[in-house]
């Protein structure tokens, strides 16, 4: 059977085995998938591949950062509730964590099964301060990654390497967010 050069796989039928069945053998297509923004020039394909890879990496990094923030927030909230249960005032906890007093009270009310720990006040506050600092550092890392992702989106839109829908797919954002990010950008 002659080699097929289209997008469908090449199929060859083998002679029927004794049981009367046929063997299906397919080979991968040699045609490369079309990328958005590709105009047949090798440089643009390379730029597309680099931007697509960078956007996928940033999406993964943001996912990890969000997971770390959730974990740290839960741990810090439990420490806040335990500090209130240990008799530390909401104003003191607010000053240590940077949360407002109302938020501290709401967090403390969410944990109703805690008992006094017996830890000294200074140990409780130093642990709370350390966890709050870790959370702020994780939020700063997330904001930095988000800023770099936005810069990559602007670069892709400016150079017309990808369209809005592909950028939305690569970043995990909505096409509307991509359109808003692209407003006012001079495209080459």
Given this model, what pLDDT does residue 93 score? 96
pLDDT digits (tens, 9 = 90+) for 129-185: 999 999 999 999 999 999 999 999 999 988 888 888 999 999 989 999 898 888 877
Please list, in sequence order, all residues whose beta carbon lies within 8 angstroms of the beta carbon of residue 145, skipping any fewer than 6 positions away. 58, 61, 62, 65
Q: What is the DSSP letter of 18?
A: T
Domain presence at residue 156: yes
Band (pLDDT 50/70/90 cuts) for residue 20 is low
Given a cut of 90, whether residue 187 has pLDDT beyond it is no
Kindly list the distances between the CA atom of residue 164 and the CA atoms of 17, 34, 51, 150, 152, in Å, as whole numbers in the listed order. Answer: 52, 16, 14, 13, 13
pLDDT number for residue 44: 64
Taking the C-alpha atoms of 88, 90, 94 and 96 in order, what is their torsion angle to the nearest 10 degrees? 0
User: Has residue 129 been placed in a domain?
Assistant: yes
Q: How far apart are CA 13 and CA 137, in angstroms?
A: 61
Binning pLDDT at 50, 70 and 90, where does residue 127 land?
very high
In a domain, 45, yes or no: no
3-state secondary structure of 104: helix
Q: What percent of the chain has pLDDT over 90?
A: 52
Residue 117 lies in a domain: yes
Do the domain assignments include residue 179?
no
Containing domain of residue 109, as a range? Answer: 51-171
Evaluate whether residue 127 is within a structural domain: yes
pLDDT tens digits, residue range 90-105? 999 999 999 999 999 9
Q: What is the pLDDT of residue 39?
A: 43
Query: Which of these, 61, 11, 38, lies nearest to 172 by C-alpha position?
Result: 61
- Could you please report the per-residue DSSP string of 114-166? -------HHHHHHHHHHHHHHHHHHHHHHHHHHHHHHHHHHHHHHTT-S-HHH
- For residue 146, the Cα-to-chain-centroid distance in whole angstroms is 9
Question: Count of domains in the chain?
Answer: 1
Query: 22-64: per-residue pLDDT in tens?
Result: 555 555 544 444 444 444 445 567 888 999 999 999 999 999 9
Residue 40 domain-assigned? no
33 located within any domain: no
pLDDT one-digit tens code per residue, 2-19 = 555 555 555 445 555 555
């Amino acid at each position: 059977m002659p080699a097929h050069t289209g997008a469908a796989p090449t199929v060859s039928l083998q002679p029927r085995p004794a049981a009367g069945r046929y063997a299906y053998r397919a080979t991968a297509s040699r045609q490369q998938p079309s990328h958005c923004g590709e105009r047949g020039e090798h440089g643009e394909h390379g730029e597309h591949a680099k931007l697509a890879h960078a956007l996928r990496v940033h999406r993964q990094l943001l996912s990890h950062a969000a997971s770390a923030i959730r974990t740290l927030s839960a741990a810090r909230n439990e420490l806040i509730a335990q500090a209130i249960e240990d008799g530390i005032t909401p104003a003191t906890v607010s000053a240590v964590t940077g949360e407002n007093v109302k938020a501290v009270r709401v967090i403390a009310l969410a944990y109703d099964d805690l008992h006094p720990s017996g830890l000294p006040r200074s140990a409780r506050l130093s642990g709370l301060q350390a966890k709050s600092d870790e959370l702020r550092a994780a939020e700063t890392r997330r904001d930095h990654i988000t800023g770099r992702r936005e810069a990559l989106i602007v670069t892709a839109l400016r150079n017309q390497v990808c369209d809005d829908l592909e950028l939305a797919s690569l970043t995990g954002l909505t096409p509307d967010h991509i359109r808003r990010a692209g407003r006012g950008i001079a495209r080459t």
